[in-house]
Structure formats: C-alpha cells, structure tokens
Structure 1
C-alpha cells in the first residue's frame, strides 16, 4: 500500500535500490553527491517488540517475534550493504534514516523492555561507523522533538545500556520534529567538498503550521 512501485520514491519520483525481492520494499538506498543514503524500517516501540495490549496481549506473539527477527536481519543486511558500498566508492558520508529513536533523550531511565530489541541494530551502526571512518548521520523521528547529539560517543550512557564497549564518535544523530510538535521541516544540504562539514541541517517553519 505504501510502496506501490518498489524502487521508486513517492513525491518527486526517484529511482532507488530496494529490498523488494527479499520482501522489504521499504528498505531502500541511493547515492547523491558522494554521500550514501539508506532508509531502513526500524520502528519504535522497542523495534515493534512491545506487546499488542490493544489486542489483549501481555507478551509478544509468535508472529510478532518472527516478523521482528526477519525484518531486523534485513535491516542489518541493508545497513552493512550501504556502508560497504560507501567504503568502496570512497563516499564522503553515510546517512541512515529511520523512524525509531533508539536513544530517546527524554527517557531518564531506559529499560531493556522498552529499548532492548534495538541492540543488534545499534551494534551494527557502531561496527559499520568505525569501519567507514567518515561522518555518519542518523536521522530519526519517534520522539518528535528536534535534537542533534552524539549518542554513541565515548562516555555516553547508551553504550553501557546496549552493552557496547566501543564508541562511534563519528556518528551524529538528528531527531526531527513531529506529532503535535510538527511546526517545521528539516532541510538537508550536502555541502561542497571544501566546507567544514559534509552536511548541514536547517529547520524550516511551515508556512501554514500543521493543525
């Protein structure tokens, strides 16, 4: 329903590489201006492992666990493939876009029950960011309040939470505004090679704020 033409974006149509043959047309990648981009289906609610309480469930169902396992494996494959191509192409940066905020700064005491299922994805991001070496930008929604930080830098509490000994100081995370806080859109610019940073981000107010 959401991806009627796998390999083609919505809005201004653009050709992208997708995992449609693997059953995940929402996982896509493309390359622009020596920057590798990938959009990966990582939903919130503990990577969709939270029980479906609205359906009377108190534990994840077998079908739910199976979906999460298969999708997470596909997500990791997509991430590793994007970083591998970026290294081979000598790209300037990698951009990973997803829905889930795996490092929600509004949660003072995160629990494994709410975030633990993200661990293999976080581990993959750390491994691939270090292997790539250049700037990595993680853009997510979910928590809906604009934020820019380095959640996997040395000293971050998220490293110990996810059981990771190695940091990824080259990963910058940007959370976009959304939900009731949807007052602007994020303009993403790939800067010229002589610029200080590969990419820049600007919050642009809506002409007519969302109601």
Structure 2
C-alpha cells in the first residue's frame, strides 16, 4: 500500500499528465526538455598506477548511466613523467576496453610527442606515435570498447589518400549532429623541441611531421563541416587533445602550432552558423565557455568544453539533441569515491 505522501504524489503526476494531453490545455509549441542520449567526455587520465583504481570508478560510473552511448577520450592516456613503453600503452588500452559502450580516443602529447624525455624512455616521438596507432586503432574505421561503432577514418576517406596515416582522425553521426576527432596536441602541436632525445633534437624531422599532420588536420576540419552541411546536421562537435590557447591573440607565442587550426575552425564555424562544440583536454581544468573572439565579439555559436584531468578524476556528460537550439548540453559528473579529502 502506498504511503500517504507517495499517494498524493502519484495523483499529482496523473493529473498533470491528463492536463498535458488535454487539447484545450495544449501549448502551441512543446517546451524543450533535455533528451536522454549523451556521450561521456574525459581525458588526461589515468595519470600513473595510483590513479588506475580511481579511473575504474569512473568506468563503473559511466557504465551505470542509461544515457551514455559512447565514451570520448581527448588524449594523454599516461602522465608526462610516465614511461612510453609498449606495456604501459597496452595496459591502458585494456583498461579502456572495460567501457560497456564504444570507446574513441585522440592522441595526446604525453602519448608520443613528449616521449623523448629521459624519464619517458628517451623514445623517438614518431616511432611512439606509430606504436600508439597500432595499439589504439586496431581496426580502421571502427571504435573499440564493448559495443564498437563504425567511424569514417581519414585514412580511408575518399579524397584523402595523401593523409592515409591519420587513422586517428575520425568522423561519425550522433543524435542529429556530426562528431569528429582531429589530431592536435600539446607541446605546441609538436613544435616544442625533442631536446632530451639521445643525440639531441631532430628539427627537420619534427617540422616535417608537424607540416604533414597540420595539412591533414585542416583538410579533415573541412571534411567535417562539409559533411555536416550536406547532411543538414544540427551541430558539430570537434575533439582534440591540445588546449590551443583560444583566448590568446593570433600570432602570439601561446598559440604556436595552433593558429592555422583555430583560423580554420573559426571560419568554418561562422559559415556553418549552427552550434559548434570544441572539446579538448590538456590543461586539466573543467570549463564551459565561449573564448573565441572574431571582430572583437565572442563567436556566439562556438562553445568550448574542457574535460576534467588528473588529479580530478571525474567525467563530463554531453547531451546531444537536435531539437534544442543549443544542441549540446554539458553536465559535470563528480565520482563520489574520487572526491579529494578536505
């Protein structure tokens, strides 16, 4: 038997439902309510063995969600002082496979560009990038996770034969929006010297890598917006690892390696005219804002979301609904077991 309070609540709900379906009471246009489909956004975790149990709690929290359909990691699968050994990569990859849904990752600077550091093993960064691709992208055009989904990879996309190495640049459709990853990393997008590499920096090789990947990134951003326009997508989400210093002035040292990417995203967002969500990690500071300025005014249709990062081992839920004028709704999810003692 229902308790009195529960009975009163049930009657109130029933009356509300009846009134909502009454033709005389129906509003001209139904109000927007947040839809039930979302994705989990995270990055910069786990940083070291000590955070692996915390990350397992994040996995359990996400797996318990009824809304999440895929998990997106913005890179840095290891901390900056952790070795770049195959065993570390494989261990993290296996931990990510505990997600019940699809898992998608874009590389971070800790995952390859900074592997020249002595405490990382003194690896050649381009060799580590090749190994990262081998481990984290076992099937071109398909995510990992327990419920993998199909992706369009730049490595197999029509018209992108010149960019065939970039298996990590991917695109897919979700809830009326076009989603994508673009390989843009910290450490000035790999323009920072490999100064701890045995034998010293290799500026020519490093610059050549940057030039080729930048060309692929710019071409992929165009592809993303072209397909979004062709499919009449309600919005676009682009994820990268680097915090590209959106608040800084073009040409400033803070934007070294990022100016062309920002200019491309700015121009295409303006032309697209619908909501654009730029997701990144790198600086380990959860935020949602509109930092891009064009002609002295904030670019209104572009929103930046940065995920939590070590030592804050939590996640961000992003709801996607084409009926919402903003398309994307961002909700921070704090994992109780990972709250830092005060």
Asked if these proteins are the same fold (TM beyond 0.5), I'd say: yes
Pick the aligned partner of 2:284 from 136, 144, 150.
144
Matched, 1:191 2:331: no
Pick the aligned partner of 1:169 from 295, 300, 320.
300
Pick the structure with more strand per residue. 1
Q: Distance in 2 between matches of 1:53 and 1:70?
A: 21
Cα offsets for 1:49-84 (capped at 9, x unmatched): 101122278866111111111111111111100101
Large movers: runs of 4+ above 3 Å: 56-60, 109-114
Question: Which structure's CA Rg is the greater one?
Answer: 2
Pick the aligned partner of 2:258 from 101, 118, 143.
118
Q: Secondary structure at the match of 1:180?
A: coil
Q: Distance in 2 between matches of 1:140 and 1:210?
A: 22
Residue 197 of structure 1 and its aligned partner are, at CA, apart by 2.2
Structure 2 counterparts to residues 97-116 of structure 1, below 5 A: 97-103=239-245, 112-116=252-256
Structure 2 counterparts to residues 125-136 of structure 1, below 5 A: 125-136=265-276
Pick the aligned partner of 2:235 from 70, 88, 93.
93
Matched, 1:181 2:315: no
Distance 1:196 1:13, change over 3 A: same
Q: Distance in 1 between matches of 2:339 and 2:199?
A: 34
Q: CA RMSD in A?
A: 2.6
Distance 1:155 1:77, change over 3 A: closer
Contact 1:190 1:200 in 2 (8 A): yes
Which structure 2 segments of 5+ residues have no match?
1-134, 157-163
Residue 205 of structure 1 and its aligned partner are, at CA, apart by 1.6
Q: Secondary structure at the match of 1:25?
A: coil
Structure 2 counterparts to residues 11-160 of structure 1, below 5 A: 11=145, 12-21=147-156, 22-55=164-197, 61-103=203-245, 112-154=252-294
Higher-RCO chain (CA-CA 8 Å, sequence separation at least 6)? 2
Q: Distance in 2 between matches of 1:138 and 1:33?
A: 17
Alignment coverage as a number of residue pairs:
198
Q: TM-score, normalised by structure 1?
A: 0.84
Contact 1:99 1:142 in 2 (8 A): yes
Residue 153 of structure 1 and its aligned partner are, at CA, apart by 2.8
Q: Distance in 2 between matches of 1:123 and 1:58?
A: 33
Contact 1:50 1:114 in 2 (8 A): no
Which structure 1 segments of 5+ residues have no match?
157-165
Cα offsets for 1:140-179 (capped at 9, x unmatched): 00011001111213476xxxxxxxxx96331110111112
Q: TM-score, normalised by structure 2?
A: 0.53
Q: Distance in 2 between matches of 1:148 and 1:58?
A: 39
Q: Distance in 2 between matches of 1:111 and 1:126?
A: 15
